[in-house]
Amino acid sequence: MFLYILGLVAVWFVYRWYRETKRVSNKEDKYVYITGCDSGFGNLLARHLDKLGFRVIAGCYTGKGEDELKKVSSDKLTTIHLDVTDSESVSKVAAFIKTLVGQKGLWAVVNNAGISVPSGPNDWLTIEDFKPMIAVNLLGVIDVTLSVLPLIKKAKGRVINIASVCGRISPFGGPYCVSKYGVESFNDSLRINMAPFGVKVLCIEPGFFKTNVTDTALLKNNLMKLWERLPQEVKDDYGLARMHYIVDGDLMKVVGCMEHAISALYPRTRYSPGWDAKFLWLPMSYMPSWLSDTYLIKSKPRPKISVL
């Protein structure tokens, strides 16, 4: 009986592998709009899709990001300034895309733009620390998506949202996990809303990878700035502790999932690139809260006056 079940599982995996190798046709006619292309996943994805023949519209926050991306891309790739926190900027880009794609519509939008600081214990932060990140990581995703959704529906295309394992479990405080939980919720509700229109809504949930978002120096500087402004009584509670981050340097694990979500005939609903995502964070998200809490508490430096 066990061997029979094992055989069925093996057949299912082979079938899924074969099914997922099939790709959409006419890539040269398909436009893909990517946010956050100055660096990291967005930059790599824009260059990768350009080489595959897609018509890439790369949203960059800085002029430097646009210039550097143009230097390493073909003439088919279009760069454009985009600030996802500015609805006027988002609307202008959407109007440009509508003119560019015409009756074909927009094949895919990839909501990749994101920031990671300030992050730290919640009692180190103020409400003002939460607002900018939520504006980029969550409200920016919603604004960009809604601005081009009619074009996506016209093409029966795809919405790809870059969430995080931090949208499934909260290993640290601050607005990052809050914003990613919001992306997960928006993604799930939109997927159900868009299904009758033939639009696929897909979610990428990476583990921790080495990008500007997880830059060790940036995160440490962020913690030191938060520490320096704390009242002395809070400092006394915590004591100065060192923070350690373990990240994966192979960004193509994530870019490969993003490309599959865009080009596969039968994409997955969710992708979880990174061994830490597959074997630590996602399994932990299904565990009882007392068990995951115990692990997270034990794995962090304890405050000076901890009662645990």
3-state helix, strand, coil in the chain (%, to 5): 55, 10, 30
Tokens 């009584």, residue located:
233
Phi-psi region at 230: left, alpha or beta (left = phi > 0; alpha = psi -120 to 50): beta
Distance of alpha carbon 224 from alpha carbon 218, whole angstroms: 10
Strand ranges inside 63-106, DSSP E: 78-81
Residue 123, H or E segment: none
Distances (CA, A) of 123 to 129, 139, 226, 233: 11, 24, 10, 12
- Give the residue numbers annotated as catalytic, written as ranges: 176
CA quadruple 135, 197, 24, 265: dihedral positive or negative?
Answer: positive
Say which residues have a Cβ less than 8 Å from residue 201's Cβ, sequence separation at least 6: 158, 159, 161, 187, 190, 191, 194
Taking Cα atoms as reference points, which of 243, 246, 222 lies closest to residue 300?
243
